[in-house]
Amino acid sequence: MLKLISDLDADRTNLLKFYEHFVYMNYNCLVFEILDVDLYTLMENREWEYLSLTEIRSIAEQLLVALDSLKDLGIIHTDIKPDNVMVVSGKIQPLKVKLIDFGLAITTSSMEPGLDIQPLGYRAPEVSIGLPFSEAIDVWGLGCLLTFLYIGENLLSVSCDYQMMKRVSELLGLPKDDQLQAGVHTRSFFCEAKGSPKWRLMTPEEYEAANNIVPEEQQRFVEFSSLDDLVNVHPGEESGEAEDRKAFVDLLKQLLRLDGDERISPCQAQFHHFFTTSHLNQQETSRHYQPSSQVDNTTCPASGEESVLDQACVTESNDGDRLNLAATSWDMFYVTLPEEELSLSSISCDALVAEASHDLPPVTDVDLVSVPTPHTNDQVLDQSSSGAKKRSLMKRIRRLFRRIKTFFC
């Protein structure tokens, strides 16, 4: 599989770059490009805080290109999940990702109904019930992955087959009767019912009796009963954000169609209005991962609202020099210096936290030469709501500086 995809332009198609293969002490060794972090680890490092639609849009666009390229080669990845999508580099902006791990990939010509493929939680319905499948199963996996990035948890159960199928039935309904009739594994999840529809999902007790497996309980932190409800799972709303969410949810509904033949293709999805829409406001499209060449370390872009750090983080030295730390609309922090040049060599993060919360006297003799760009995982700051209380504000500022301290120390 690696040899097949190596004929493609890995950077243009957003696929893992494979350099060479060699044998060392009877071990087969594969040489790849160095990448940064996978999306699962990225979310874990962010304490499962969901990504913005701007970040999700960028990731979705790149993965659709990757899947479209694989489809042209007649390859099904079969293992689409957050662990198998990696950020190229935390220092490259905007966010650049690549699809990795082709160890379970198959060709469409080798497809057989009933194959045990795809990870739990990202497995397409046609695979679960044992129907013929196509590259569309990767599209389903992408839909589950994007939902994971949007809500900060898996859409479907990743530990229990029954709970995964039950959740699919709750959100999308049952597959068609003729599909269930033809499925190799249908009777593992469904039983025949009198009337219409002809099939129904087993109860947990029936599933245990039929499969000798006790279904696991599933715990969800984000409650919703349909994909349409995802529009309202996040509080707060900026200009154009409601329409953006609706466009994203509509894309998810097309990626997650029960019938693989009706599912949108990677090529068609690239022209979905979530990517081509004109309602996106300038603030949202400029958030996160601003190219380093465009970053101005001496000024902060103007924003419509005073940010968390604008309100709370103003430090003044004995010489009258002011050091302003401001969270911009990009959710990054910048250092604003006075007109005269300052020589700064170190930052006491603890002191800055104390200064922000007014627990300790102002920091003096701050000496810093340059402030490196933080890792991608540490760039995102919480946005304060208009009615946030002071205590909540201080907690967010302390969390921010704990992240900064972790980076510098």
User: DSSP per residue over 52-104, as a string?
Assistant: PHHHHHHHHHHHHHHHHHHHHHTEE----SGGGEEES-TTSSS--EEE---TT
Q: Is 19 helix (H, G, I), strand (E, B) or coil?
A: strand
Of 178-182, 210-214, 259-263, 329-333, the least confident: 329-333
Mean pLDDT of the chain: 76
**394: confidence class by pLDDT, cuts 50, 70, 90:** low
Yes or no: say if 73 and 5 are a contact pair by the CB < 8 Å rule: yes
Domain ranges of the chain: 2-285, 292-408
**207: confidence class by pLDDT, cuts 50, 70, 90:** very high
What confidence score (pLDDT) does residue 66 get? 98
Between these two residues, 258 and 194, which has the higher pLDDT value?
A: 258
| Residues 99-122, mean pLDDT to the nearest whole number | 94
Yes or no: say if 301 and 294 are a contact pair by the CB < 8 Å rule: no
Of 103-117, 270-284, 327-341, the least confident: 327-341
Q: Find all residues with CB under 8 Å of 373, minimum gap 6, and list them.
A: 91, 292, 295
What confidence score (pLDDT) does residue 218 get? 81
What confidence score (pLDDT) does residue 45 get? 94
- As beta bridge partners, residue 107 has 75
What confidence score (pLDDT) does residue 237 get? 61
Residue 193 has pLDDT above 90, yes or no: no
Structure tokens at 231: 């529009």
* CA dist., res. 360 & res. 290, Å (int): 34
Sign of CA dihedral 230, 232, 236, 239: positive
Structure tokens at 394: 């201080």
Residue 403 has pLDDT above 70, yes or no: no
CA torsion 284-288-290-296 (nearest 10°) is: 90
| Residues 279-300, mean pLDDT to the nearest whole number | 37
* Highest mean pLDDT out of 174-188, 235-249, 337-351: 174-188
* CA dist., res. 226 & res. 10, Å (int): 37
Between these two residues, 110 and 309, which has the higher pLDDT value?
A: 110
Length of the chain: 409
**295: confidence class by pLDDT, cuts 50, 70, 90:** very low
Residue 327 has pLDDT above 70, yes or no: no
* Highest mean pLDDT out of 91-100, 342-351, 385-394: 91-100
- Taking CA 78 as the corner, what is the angle to CA 23 and CA 167, rounded to the nearest 5 degrees? 145
CATH number for the domain whose boundaries are 2-285: 1.10.510.10
Q: Find all residues with CB under 8 Å of 339, minimum gap 6, and list them.
A: none
Residue 63 has pLDDT above 60, yes or no: yes
User: What are residue 142's phi and psi, to 5 degrees?
Assistant: -65, -40
What confidence score (pLDDT) does residue 320 get? 37
Between these two residues, 283 and 5, which has the higher pLDDT value?
A: 5
What confidence score (pLDDT) does residue 139 get? 98
Within 10 angstroms of residue 328's Cβ, the number of other Cβ atoms is 21
Helices (H) and strands (E) in the chain, counts: 16, 14
Residue 408 has pLDDT above 50, yes or no: yes
* CA dist., res. 292 & res. 12, Å (int): 21
| Whole-Å CA distances, 10 to 3, 63, 65, 136 | 12, 12, 11, 22
What confidence score (pLDDT) does residue 280 get? 55
| Residues 284-301, mean pLDDT to the nearest whole number | 34
What confidence score (pLDDT) does residue 276 get? 85
| Residues 293-304, mean pLDDT to the nearest whole number | 34
Marked catalytic residue, from 36, 38, 79, 244:
79
**Neighbouring C-alpha atoms within 13 Å toward the C-beta of 282:** 4
Choose among 41, 33, 39, 36: nearest CA to 16.
33
| Residues 129-156, mean pLDDT to the nearest whole number | 97
Yes or no: say if 8 and 18 are a contact pair by the CB < 8 Å rule: no
DSSP-derived secondary structure letter, 216: P
Structure tokens at 120: 């739990």
DSSP-derived secondary structure letter, 345: E
Which amino acid, 272? H
* CA dist., res. 366 & res. 339, Å (int): 16
| Whole-Å CA distances, 188 to 270, 278, 352 | 36, 46, 59
Yes or no: say if 313 and 353 are a contact pair by the CB < 8 Å rule: no
**176: confidence class by pLDDT, cuts 50, 70, 90:** very high
Residue 79 annotated as catalytic? yes
- As beta bridge partners, residue 27 has 24
